[in-house]
């Protein structure tokens, strides 16, 4: 685990280890309003997406057994509201993977509305019926959900596992799941009240059960750390070996239940899990600080 202060100091002093990587380690793609679509079994990796163009780029994967790996986004997403950078699902009952992705430069507040639909980092479509593993993902300052994965709960029923990932200062929620067998492990959520977006930490939708294990949820008293239930439908969350901000607390809607198991406390430490990229170049090159 790395503290946020330590990461900030290292980035300021060194520019980030990944910044020194040669560009021939990865492909640079300028955002020009294009859509990139993955086919079944395809791997899309080692890309640095240049968002300083002021244009959008959308990556879609609605097939099976695909992999998105080593991708870094440089610059804020300024494309506007109501869209997602990644639209994904595994529609063939297979297993797909998202790993080592940096979306830490966020979305421009000038083009987003915290009270409406803003910019989502990852949207998992309702037809998702397989499994998606997220690992070593860094998402910050998006005006909608960081990982919006609750939609399959009432349709495809596919599962999602978020592991060793970091989300900070996003609106609506940071990790949003809804199907039985979905879980968040070894991950951190952080809200800094100076950044503007103060969405829920982990939001569980029906039908559940959603598992939370070995997580740190530091909200600085904002919104809700763990929120269960939505739209009048109940769900269940099981929490173990985790720390959450009791100033933000836990919410249970429509008969939902949040079960606090072993080693659950209220003294979270805002940390970036080991292996999570902290710069676009680091992600694109597949390196680690």
Nearest to 96 by CA among 20, 22, 158: 158
pLDDT for res 70: 98
Report pTM.
0.91
Residues of the chain with pLDDT under 50: 1, 3, 5-21, 111, 289
247: helix, coil or strand?
coil
Task: Report d(CA 258, CA 239) in Å as an integer.
Answer: 7
All structural domains of the chain with their residue ranges: 27-105+118-191+205-285
CB burial string 257-273: b at 16+ within 10 A, e below: ebebeeebeeebebbbb
pLDDT for res 194: 76
pLDDT for res 5: 42
pLDDT for res 265: 98
pLDDT for res 15: 31
pLDDT for res 193: 77
CB burial string 220-256: b at 16+ within 10 A, e below: bebbbbbbbbbeebbbbbbbbebbbbeebebbbeeeb
Supply the DSSP symbol for 254: T
pLDDT for res 4: 53
For tokens 């100033």, name the residue.
247
Computed over every residue of the chain, the mean pLDDT equals 89
């Amino acid at each position: 685990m790395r503290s946020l202060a330590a990461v900030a100091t290292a980035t300021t002093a060194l520019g980030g280890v990944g910044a020194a990587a040669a560009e021939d380690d990865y492909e640079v793609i300028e955002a020009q309003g294009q859509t990139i679509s993955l086919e079944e079994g395809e791997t899309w990796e080692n890309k640095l997406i240049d968002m300083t163009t002021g244009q959008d780029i959308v990556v879609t994967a609605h097939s099976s057994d695909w992999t998105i790996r080593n991708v870094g986004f440089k610059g804020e997403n300024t494309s506007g509201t109501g869209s997602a950078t990644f639209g994904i699902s595994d529609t063939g009952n297979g297993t797909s993977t998202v790993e080592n992705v940096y979306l830490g430069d966020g979305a421009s507040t000038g083009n987003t509305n915290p009270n409406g639909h803003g910019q989502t980092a990852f949207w998992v479509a309702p037809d998702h019926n397989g499994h998606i593993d997220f690992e070593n993902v860094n998402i910050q300052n998006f005006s909608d959900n960081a990982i919006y994965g609750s939609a399959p709960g009432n349709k495809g029923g596919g599962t999602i596992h978020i592991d060793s990932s970091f989300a900070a200062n996003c609106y609506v929620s940071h990790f949003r799941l809804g199907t039985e067998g979905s879980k968040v492990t070894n991950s951190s959520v952080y809200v800094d009240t100076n950044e503007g977006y103060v969405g829920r930490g982990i939001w569980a939708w029906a039908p559940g059960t959603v598992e939370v294990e070995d997580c740190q949820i530091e909200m600085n008293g904002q919104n809700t750390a763990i929120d269960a239930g939505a739209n009048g439908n109940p769900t269940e969350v099981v929490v173990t070996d985790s720390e959450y901000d009791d100033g933000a607390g836990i919410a249970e809607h429509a008969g939902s239940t949040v079960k606090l198991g072993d080693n659950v406390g209220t003294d979270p430490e805002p940390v970036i899990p080991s292996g999570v990229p902290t710069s676009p170049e680091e992600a694109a090159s597949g390196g680690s600080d």
